[in-house]
Every structure is written in C-alpha cells, then in structure tokens.
Amino acid sequence: METVASALEKVLQEAQPLRPAQVDLPEAVGLVLAETVVSDMDAPPFAKALVDGYALQSRDISEGRRRFRLVGTVRAGEWFSGAVEAGQAVRIMTGAPVPTGADMVVMLERGREVGEWVELEGELGGAGAYVMPRGAEMRAGDIVFRRGTVLKPAHIAVLASIGQAKPFVFPRPRVNVVPTGDELVDVACRPGPGQIRNSNGPMLWAAAHRAGANVTLLPPVVDQEELLYRTLERALSDADVVLVSGGVSMGDRDLVPKVLTALGVRQVFHRVRLRPGQPLWFGVHKAPGRRALVFGLPGNPVSSLVCFYLFAKPALRVLMGHDRRRSPEPLARLRVAWEHRAARPTYWPARLWVDRSGMVAEPLPWQGSSDMRTVTLADGFLFVDQGEHRFQAGDEVQVLVID
Ligand code: AMP
Ligand code: MG
C-alpha cells in the first residue's frame, strides 16, 4: 500500500501542465501566465501630472519667482501643443501630459488666480515635483512578467496597460464529477428507505470549482457495470480530470476500479495508508491527443474531501501551471494537550488560527469519516502518524489547511 507521500509523488508525476490557451484578460485572474510578456510602450507613455495644479519651470521657482502668466489648460486625454517658457504656467489636471518646457507641477491649492496670472505661495517643491516621468514604471521592450507568474488583479491592470487583451495562460482544467452508489438520490429528492442524498457530488463540484477548474457534475449512477461503463466512458471523453466518488472499496458493489480498467484507464495505485481515505484509487487515461487523470475517491464524504485536498487539488494545480515543487505542509502548535491512538496515519479535523507566535491548532471532537458536520467547523486537518500519541499543549503538529 502507498504512503501518502509516495501516492502524492505518483500523482504529481502523472500531472502535466495543460496546453496554454488565450483568455479574455479579466478572466485570467488566478491563472498562471504561460508566456513571458514584454511591454509594447513606455508607461507612462508621457511625463504625467500626478495632481491638479500648475505646470512650470522649476528654475523660475528656485530663482524666487512666484507670479506666473497662465498660458493655457491641459486635461487628461488632451495634448498641449505649445511650450512653457520662463515666467509662464499651464493649468494642468491629474493624468494630463506635462507640456514641453515644464519640469514640475505645483498643487492647485498653492495658487491664487488673478485674471491672466497666478500667484503661488507656501511649499512649492522643485524639479520633478508631482511629475511621473515617461517610462518610470516600465519601458518599451522591458520584460514585464515571466511565464509562471500567478495573475492577481494588479497584474491584470499592468497587462491591460501594455495591450495584452488575450494573454496566454494555463487554462482551467475540465473536471467531470461522477457520484456512484445504489443508495444515492438527488439532493432535491427525499430519500426512501436505505437511501441517502448525494452530498459528495455537490461537495466535489464545489471543491474543484474553488481550485480553479471548470467542473461538470453528472447525476449519480447506480452500481451496475454496464451503466457505470457508459457513464465513465462519457466522463473520460471530455475531461482533464475525472473525480469518481464511491465504489472503490472491497464490497461486492465496488465496481469502479474494474470498470475503469476495462475502459483502458491505467491504474497507478489503489489504496493508501491513510485515515480517512484508504480506498483511494488513481489512474491515467490516454486517448489520441488527450490525457485524463482519474481519481476514484472513497464514497465516505470526509474521506472524499481529504483525498481531494491531499491528491486531486495538487494535481489540478500542476495542470494549471503552478510550480510542481510543493511547499512543506505547515506546522501548528497544539493549544491543548491531546491524546490519540492512530491505527493508520490520520488526518483529524481541527480549528486553525494564527496568533503572534504562528499557527495554532485545536483538534475538534469528531465521530469519524462520515461526520461531515464537524468538518464544517474545521479550518483543516492535523496529521498524526500511526501509533500512540500523548501531545502536550504547545507541541508542534503538521497540518493540512483546507479552504
Ligand atoms: P462506498 O465508497 O461506495 O463504499 O461508500 C462509502 C460510504 O459513503 C457509504 O456509506 C455511502 O453511502 C457513502 N457515500 C457514497 N457516495 C456518497 C455520496 N455521493 N454522497 C454521500 N455519501 C456517499
Ligand atoms: Mg458505493
């Protein structure tokens, strides 16, 4: 059986960044840039006024002149065609190009206009005051962002300013979610005897959506080979990742591994030493020009969720062009003493928060892998290795943070 670390290693080995595609600029937020972008112009493209005021020559100010002849006004979007001579000033608005000849702007509040003239007083500054020089932010031909940059709203603004209307990014993976199980009824239905509502389907849709994928949720499919085969065949045909829920344990109705194998999905591993989540199945499906990663997630809701965060989310991140190297799982200090006997390496729901000394964890009272309600109170999971543990308050434990 795999360890969590070896299983994750294998998943990441099979994950490849998706082929870059162009997207409309605002929709690139959160995605990873797949090209190195170069500025097509200087920014700002002209020396720009940073306040409303008067553009003039700093030499006049340093020589003591305080009275200037107003020779015009320039606003953002306009261009002042003349030049500012000694003794002259141009009224200028924020964002307007500083006219030729002028090398500083004095704030509007420092001036008093009398007819054709303006009189200045107070602190006026010197050369360059309130002027952003042409190209101060970047110059034409500069490399602005490199391939691999994760795009935040600020990046979207800079890309817009250099004309990148449709940047190349690593696209959102297409994910199909396939819940399986005879007992499942749709969320909108009232379960009959022995039935339960399909909660994994919406949960996995939500988790994959949050991880950045384009997700389709298929209706639950019963544990019947023929139907499973047809549903999974369709699910494999148009996805980068298929998240199957249920049917991967040892029961006589756990048909998913068999059906996936029949469909040509190559098993990479089945079962991981882990609680919750031991039955996890993982394989790869290759068809001409395409490749899908297939996760057979345990039906148990918390198992499914833990396996998603431990294995599927890191894979989605690689598909989306994020760095394959992963930062180590963070450590947190236990707020309370905690005794725990772990029959297997265990992820245990916990509240997590940050205080002045770092991350703090408090294990939640939890009834095991079908108790999802307690998990709603958790910010993540504590990791405890197999064995008998007597933690003191303040001891460090590894954590898996979930969003
Ligand atoms: P399985 O992995 O199919 O043996 O399912 C394990 C447990 O998870 C059983 O108690 C199932 O009823 C439950 N389960 C399976 N699929 C779902 C689902 N989509 N939503 C909620 N519970 C499920
Ligand atoms: Mg089942």
On average, the pLDDT of the chain sits at 97
Task: Report the nearest atom of ligand 1 relative to the CA of 251.
Answer: 4
Ligand 1 mean position, distance from CA 395 (Å): 35
Tokens describing residue 328: 């180590």
* Ligand 1 pocket test, candidate residues 177, 184, 187, 280, most atoms within 8 A of CB: 184
Task: Report the nearest atom of ligand 1 relative to the CA of 199.
Answer: 20
30-49, pLDDT tens digit by residue? 999 999 999 999 999 999 99
What is the C-alpha radius of gyration for the chain, rounded to an integer number of angstroms? 31
Q: What percent of the chain has pLDDT over 90?
A: 97
Work out whether strand 396-401 and strand 380-384 pair parallel, antiparallel, or are unpaired.
antiparallel
Ligand 2 mean position, distance from CA 256 (Å): 9
What is residue 303's DSSP assignment? H
> What was the pLDDT predicted at 66?
98
Q: Any alpha helices (H) in 15-110, and if so which ranges?
A: 58-62
Q: Report which bound ligand comes closest to the CA of 280.
A: 1
Ligand 1 mean position, distance from CA 299 (Å): 4
Ligand 2 mean position, distance from CA 228 (Å): 12
pLDDT confidence bin for 80, thresholds 50/70/90:
very high
Distance, in Å, from the CA atom of 380 to the CA atom of 384, rounded to the nearest integer, reads: 13
Ligand 2 mean position, distance from CA 378 (Å): 26
Residues 6+ apart with CB under 8 A from 318: 12, 15, 16, 17, 324
pLDDT confidence bin for 265, thresholds 50/70/90:
very high
CA angle 155, 160, 162 (to 5 degrees): 100
In this structure, the residue with its CA closest to atom 10 of ligand 1 is 300
- Res. 149: pLDDT tops 90: yes
* Ligand 1 pocket test, candidate residues 199, 300, 372, 373, most atoms within 8 A of CB: 300
CA angle 260, 318, 161 (to 5 degrees): 135
Average pLDDT over residues 228-241: 98
Pocket of ligand 1 (CB under 6 A): 179, 181, 183-184, 196, 198-201, 245-249, 251, 254, 298-301
Task: Report the nearest atom of ligand 1 relative to the CA of 220.
Answer: 19
196-234, pLDDT tens digit by residue? 999 999 999 999 999 999 999 999 999 999 999 999 999
- Res. 176: pLDDT tops 90: yes
> What was the pLDDT predicted at 335?
97
Reduced to 3 states (helix: H, G, I; strand: E, B; else coil), residue 64 is coil
3-34, pLDDT tens digit by residue? 999 999 999 999 999 999 999 999 999 999 99
Ligand 2 mean position, distance from CA 56 (Å): 79
Torsion of CA 28, 32, 34, 38, to 10 degrees: 70
Distance, in Å, from the CA atom of 111 to the CA atom of 160, rounded to the nearest integer, reads: 36
Q: Report which bound ligand comes closest to the CA of 222.
A: 2
Q: Report which bound ligand comes closest to the CA of 223.
A: 2
Average pLDDT over residues 221-249: 98
> What was the pLDDT predicted at 146?
98
Task: Report the nearest atom of ligand 1 relative to the CA of 180.
Answer: 16
> What was the pLDDT predicted at 327?
80
* Ligand 1 pocket test, candidate residues 178, 195, 196, most atoms within 8 A of CB: 196
pLDDT confidence bin for 328, thresholds 50/70/90:
confident
pLDDT confidence bin for 314, thresholds 50/70/90:
very high
Q: Report which bound ligand comes closest to the CA of 248.
A: 1
- Res. 330: pLDDT tops 90: yes
In this structure, the residue with its CA closest to atom 23 of ligand 1 is 299
> What was the pLDDT predicted at 169?
98
pLDDT confidence bin for 348, thresholds 50/70/90:
very high
Q: What percent of the chain has pLDDT over 70?
A: 100
Q: Is the dihedral of CA 149, 152, 154, 159 positive or negative?
A: positive
Ligand 1 mean position, distance from CA 175 (Å): 20
* Ligand 1 pocket test, candidate residues 245, 280, 373, most atoms within 8 A of CB: 245
Ligand 2 mean position, distance from CA 252 (Å): 9
289-304, pLDDT tens digit by residue? 899 999 999 999 999 9
Q: Report which bound ligand comes closest to the CA of 182.
A: 2
Place of tokens 């932010």: 137
> What was the pLDDT predicted at 38?
97
Place of tokens 């999905």: 265
Ligand 1 mean position, distance from CA 181 (Å): 7
**In 3D, which of 116, 110, 129 has the Cα closest to residue 87?**
116
Task: Report the nearest atom of ligand 1 relative to the CA of 300.
Answer: 8
* Terminal Cα distance for the chain, rounded: 28
